[in-house]
Amino acid sequence: WKTLLRDRATGEVSGLVCTVRDITEQRELERAALEAAENERWRLGSELHDGAGGTLAGIDMMLSALGRRLDAGGGEAQELAQIQETLRTAMQELKGIARGLAPVDLEHAGLHEALRRMLEQVEAASGLRCRLHGDPVPFTLLGAGDSTQLYRIVQEAVTNVARHGRARGVDIHLRYDERWIELRIEDDGMGFDPATEPEGQGLRLMRYRARLVAGRLQIERRAVGGMRVVCRVPTRAGVFDIVPAGSP
């Protein structure tokens, strides 16, 4: 915070008082809480995939074995086939939920691969044309924690486009150098004016995630229609530790 000091007689500025509050600990606590929530999502996603998913797969195999013993032309075989079809639909829905909770192993697969898989799912589910541009970011420049926050920012932005943007397509551009990583999400929908329309919970959460990784988030309407969301975060190489004065 800053406050100007003025001379009472002349009104001229005579000084400046600045107040600074160190929020490092608060920011670390917020980040730890969000990471804990992400870890819980991973746990639930893994349990759904490996537990309930595995059980349903076992039931499907038993039904297949039973079908081979039944008369292929009988009504029982047709009814069994319908049950299997319903079961397999449920299995696909369960896999989709599990992928949403635990999209990929960001530490091993990387942000680029995670985004590619997510966009494939969005395109298949909504019909929205999704394209990813750019090259994978080396893990030495971006860790799993920061990758998760960037992934969730893109996921929220693309979900908003698919649900509310009335767009035909969305493009995600991933660029990086030694100091910065930039994600740019552009769509060709109706768009809105960020200066006049209140932000929803999704946009506020996107800004919050960007702040947790010391990033900058910019949301604007494109001149040709649709919206542009740009998030820039420093790489590991671009972040320097702050050493207190007098420390060795």
Read off the pLDDT of residues 32-57 as tens digits, 9 standing for 90 and up. Answer: 666 666 666 666 766 676 677 777 88
- What's the chain's length in residues? 248
pLDDT at 72: 59
Which has the closest alpha carbon to 181: 221, 231, 219? 231
* Cα distance between residue 22 and residue 11, in whole Å: 32
pLDDT at 243: 45
DSSP secondary structure code for residue 219 in this structure? E
Which has the closest alpha carbon to 184: 157, 223, 147? 157
Which has the closest alpha carbon to 110: 133, 131, 138? 138
The pTM of the full predicted model, rounded to 2 decimals, is 0.64
Percent of the chain with pLDDT over 70: 78
Pairing, β 169-176 against β 129-134: parallel
* Cα distance between residue 120 and residue 190, in whole Å: 23
Low-confidence ranges of the chain (pLDDT < 50): 240-245, 247-248
